[in-house]
Each structure stands twice: as C-alpha cells, then as structure tokens.
Amino acid sequence: MSENTTLHVWPLETGITDLPADISTLSTAEVGRIRAAWSMRKAATPDAAVLHSALDELNREWSIETGVVEGIFEVDRSISQSLIADGLTLGVVARGASVKDPAAVLAHLWDHMNSLNLMFEMAGSGQNLTVEKIKELHAALTRSQASVELLDDKGRKGSIPLVHGDWKQWPSNVVRDEKHLTYCLPARVASEMDRLVQMHNAHIASGVPAEVQAAWLLHRLTQIRPFQDGNGRVAHTLASMILHRANLFPVTLDRDDAARYIESLEMADAGDLRPLSLLIVRNQRRSYQRVVNAIERSRPGPSTLEEAVQRLSDIAALRDDARMARILSRISLFRKSLLDHLATAVDGVKAPLIAINPLVEMQASESSQNSHNRFHTELRHLIERTWQPAPKRPFAWVQVEGALDGAWQLVVLIHAVAPDMDESLQAVAVTNVNGEWEPIPVEPINWPSDSMDLAGPAEAEQWLKSALTITLGMLTRRLATPK
C-alpha cells in the first residue's frame, strides 16, 4: 500500500475530540415525540407478556442485523424474518442457503442476545460507564469468536487468536474503496479509552440529548477501534445503552442501512456528526413502529366486529391524543414567547405616545374565550381569504389593544397548520381600527415541527415589531385623514 492511499481515521495529533460547543444542530425534537408516544403505548398495554414479546422481537432483530452489518455472518432476509418472529433456533438458521455453519451462527446470535441483556442490566444500575464494563461487553459479544483476520501495513492477511475483553495488541488496518484506513495505535488505546469514558460521563452530567450522546460514543469508539475485532458490535451496544436509559430502543441498523451507516461514519470522521445522529433518530422511529406492530400482532384477535372497530379507534385516538397534546404544548410555548416580545415592544412605544396624548391606552394580552368566539364571528373568512392554508384549530391569540381617538387592535393568531399530520405552527397578524379588520401585510411566521428553537421561531421578536410598526402606521394615516 502506498502512503498516498492511507487515511488516518483516528486523529494522530489530537486523538478523539469532544462534542462542539454548539450541539443544537445535532438533536431533534422528534426523539421527544417518539419517547412520549412509546410511554403512552406502554401505558395502554397493561399485559406485560405482550410488551415483553414485542420487545423480544426487536432484540432478536438487533442480534441478527448487527451481525450481518458487521460482517460476522450471513443470514437470508427471509430466514431473518422467521428468526425474529419465532425465536432463535438451529432448525430455522439451518434453512438459510447462505448459512455455511448454522451452529456457529446460532452461537453468535445468542452471544448478541445475552450481551444485550447484560447491557440492559448495566443501564438499569444507573452507574457511570467504565472501561471495565466496555471490556465485559466485548467479552460477551465475542464469546464464540475464536480468531480474527488481520492485515499488516503491506496488505498481507493473517489470522491470530482473538483476546476477549482486552485491548488490541496489533495495529488495526482496514481497506475500503482502495484506501488504507488506520486507527488508534495499540500503545495509545488505554489512555484514549479513559478519555472517551470521561467525556461520555460528562455528557450525561451536562444533559446532552440521548441521540447526540449515542452518535458521539458510537463514532468515537469506532475511531479508536480499541479491540482487535468486535468494535462495531461494542459501539452499537453502547449506543443502545444510552438510548435504553432514555426510554428508547436499541440502535438496530439493518442491512439496508449499511451503506448510509458507513457514509455517516465517514462524515463524522470529517467532523460532521449530524448525519449519524439523524440516522439514529430515523432508526428509533422505525423501531417504535415495529414494536407497536408487534404488540398489535400479539394481542388476541377481536371476537366481534364492534371490538375490531373499537380497537382501530383506540389506536387512532392514542396517536391523535399524543400529537394534540404536543401541539397544545407548543402553542402554549409560542404564545408565551410572543406575548413577552409584544409586551416589550409595547413598553418601547407607549411612553412616547403618552407624551403626545396622555389619554393614550395600550396593553398586551393573551387569548380568552371571548377572543376565540370573535375569531369565528368576525375574522375567520378574512383570514381564510388572505392566507393559505387557512388557520385551523387548535389556536390561540396574543393582542395589543389601545385607544387613541378611537379603538384599535393588533391581533396575532397562532394555529396548527396541519394538526392531523404534524405539529408545525404558524402565526398571522391582523389589525382593527375603529371596527374595520384588515390583514397586516407581513408574511406569516412559521415554527416547523422539527425546529431546534425551543420556544418559537428565533425571528419572532423582529416579526412582531414589523407588525406593530405597520399597525401604528395605519393608525397614523387614519388619524391624519380629514373626517
């Protein structure tokens, strides 16, 4: 191998690096929604045996697909489905055309299952991660693996016994796409793993989102490659432990994810962890749906038509109720944020107006039942003609009301754009001068469901100032017009 084909995956000068100071782009609100939906689903499934059976299916899928993705064995897709549904048995494994040694494959599968259970115990203990626990997981995951194939720096192959539960003694050399990939030197592994554990435990203490923790730990461990083999399996297991502690699911990257997984690791090598974090989030969404489907399959079939209809209705209501609760929470946050910005803006203009006319009145307030009724009686058609899509329930208001030679209002309506599909919100503005409602010519402001802003759009304050400026300008023109 020539020097110009060598790629140092592990940074030679710095070693592994910590998370960036700003991690806002690495997380997404979807993880919270998945967690909430899963909590509601568990609460709606009182039969512990049904839950256990559904999660066992997911764990078997993890055991199979982790082995396939990491190149430990080959199992046909149809055989995988049978193993997931019916259990890990030698008879099913042996039916696979691609399986060369069924007994060996079954042994690896049970190593993976037992290691997953060990991980659950570690996660449930509440104790910090240690290098000893990482070594213990490696020993469990590779228990049935006797040897490992090595490449030297000349590309020559050889085989050595695999040491279970201890750091590598030989350099890691991998060839991918005609590139020679190198990793942490054996002499540096112990100190790098100490650093990795220290950084990870600091992430827990500082409240780093679970999907960001998982992506970071998975990638950095594969950068170090501390064991002679089994690093990918250990990395997947550790990432799964983080998510399990957060009431989520193991990181089950299946064979269809393999190319995207490698690509996301390479992007993380270059400093961009977001694709790997998003891949984990996508995986959590898929795992949630698979568990829900398994729960439904495990339940006894309905005995009557009425029961079947009720069961479908319950599933729909559960999903709708969870989504609506999140929408109402977001509306409440958005309304409070807008009201705070509006009150600040009013304070900034009220004093100069009072200096001109001591009788000026001006105050910011939020929605009431009366303003909800006014939406239906006075404004709905105006807003529907002006903006598409038209505002839908649920909604809320913030407003500024004043009096200066007549009454006037600025009303901001916050509403869900498509409450039957997602949790995106929008705010539109209208004004009323002496009983005449008009739309304010400012584009609606949007708060997408996947926004990283925690209390509404970052540009909301400037948007409100623009709306208030236009309102006061319209009022000024009205007052200047001869009666």
401 neighbors 409 (Cβ within 8 angstroms): yes
In tens digits, the chain (483 residues) has pLDDT values of 445 477 889 999 999 999 999 998 898 877 888 898 888 888 888 788 889 999 999 999 999 999 999 999 999 999 999 999 999 999 999 998 788 899 999 999 999 999 999 999 999 998 999 999 999 999 999 999 999 988 776 667 888 999 999 999 999 888 777 788 889 999 999 999 999 999 999 999 999 999 999 999 999 999 999 999 999 999 999 999 999 999 999 999 989 889 899 999 999 999 999 999 989 988 998 898 889 888 877 777 777 767 776 666 666 665 566 666 677 777 777 888 888 888 888 777 777 666 666 655 667 777 665 555 555 566 666 666 665 555 555 567 677 776 655 667 788 888 777 665 667 788 888 887 777 778 888 888 888 876 656 556 778 888 888 888 888 777 777 666 665
Domain boundaries, the chain: 3-298, 328-480
At 417, phi and psi to the nearest 5?
-70, -50
364 neighbors 411 (Cβ within 8 angstroms): no
Q: How long a stretch of residues is the chain?
A: 483
Residue whose tokens read 């984990």 = 280
Q: Give the Cα separation of 359 and 121 in Å (integer).
A: 70
Residue whose tokens read 């909301």 = 460
Which CATH code fits 3-298?
1.10.3290.10
SS3 363: strand
242 neighbors 218 (Cβ within 8 angstroms): no
Q: C-alpha dihedral over 399, 402, 407, 412, to 10 degrees?
A: -10
388 neighbors 426 (Cβ within 8 angstroms): no
Q: Provide the angle, in degrees to the nearest 10, between the axes of the packed helices 258-269 and 274-298.
A: 150
Q: Give the Cα separation of 274 and 263 in Å (integer).
A: 12
Q: Give the Cα separation of 228 and 169 in Å (integer).
A: 7
Q: Give the Cα separation of 32 and 15 in Å (integer).
A: 32
Look up the pTM and report it: 0.66
